[in-house]
Amino acid sequence: MTESGKQLQTILIGVDIEKTGKMLMKHPVVSVGFVVCNDKAILLDSKRFNFDITWKMESEGGDFEDRCWTEFWSKLPDAVIDAFKADVMTQVEGWRAVAVWLDRLEQTYPPAEYKIMFVNDNPSFDIANIDYNLELHADRHPMRYTSSGQYRTITTVDDAFYMFPRSAIGQIKADINKVVKHDHNPVNDAYFMCQQYWHVNKLLKTMITDDAYCAFRYDGSDILDFMPIY
């Protein structure tokens, strides 16, 4: 609520990273993608930051964890790799640019009028890497805080998403894929997360009504189904 009692408008910020390996400090980030959406997951803006890295395995003098390269990066199409190599910045330049973008976000959507919610599917990894690099290269406090130190919410979409029955999850993914594909383009993947958030909230609102409450029924097949209780 604002000071006048008016409801704050919600802005969803989807965020995704792609990385050279699992270690926080040892393995640099390849790319960060952001999307800005309204509370119905309608895309308003997007931004991608690519970082200059050495495209070889560590055993060959590069930045990539050998396992990560062998199991993932080496299997991506050339067109996808080329997109990661476009418009690259050094780690210092790139993370300072991320910090500037985050601060400009506050100017566009001031905290007095908007509630900014960051949406991510693995914040213990993605957000941790972003926060570490923002502090290291841009001397900025964590992303979950505004430039003035005000706390902001980071929502984990997968925790809520995977509590639904497999049939519901499959339908939601099919609906989202009509809008955007989860294809390791960090902007597309960030938008996919915002879509997940909106679809989950939409489904929850249809389940919970004044005269019906929902409980889980376990049918013994590792699939949870919803059973209304009247």
Q: Could you tell me the residue ranges of all domains in the chain?
A: 9-229
Sign of the CA dihedral with 93 first, then 98, 102, and 104 last: positive
Mean pLDDT of 27-52: 97
As given in the structure block, the two tokens for residue 120 are: 């991510």
| The pLDDT of residue 19 is above 90 | yes
pLDDT band at residue 146, thresholds of 50, 70 and 90?
A: confident
Residue 53 is predicted with a pLDDT of: 97
What is the C-alpha separation between 56 and 64, in angstroms, rounded?
6
- Check: CB of residue 159 under 8 Å from CB of residue 186: no
Residue 228 is predicted with a pLDDT of: 36
Residue 169 is predicted with a pLDDT of: 86
Sign of the CA dihedral with 182 first, then 165, 205, and 116 last: negative
| The pLDDT of residue 225 is above 70 | no
Type of residue at 88: V
Exposure b/e, 163-202, CB count within 10 A at least 16 = b:
ebeeebbeebeeebeeebebebbbbbbbbbbbbbbbbbee
Per-residue CA distances from 117 to 112, 113, 155, 190, 202 (Å): 14, 13, 7, 13, 17
**Which three-class secondary structure state does DSSP give residue 159?**
helix
The secondary structure of residue 81, as a DSSP letter, is H
Residue 194 is predicted with a pLDDT of: 96
Mean pLDDT of 13-17: 98
Which pLDDT tens digit goes with each residue over 70-125? 999 999 999 999 999 999 999 999 999 999 999 999 999 998 899 999 999 999 99
CATH tag for 9-229 (out of 1.10.10.10, 3.40.50.300, 3.30.420.10, 3.30.360.10): 3.30.420.10
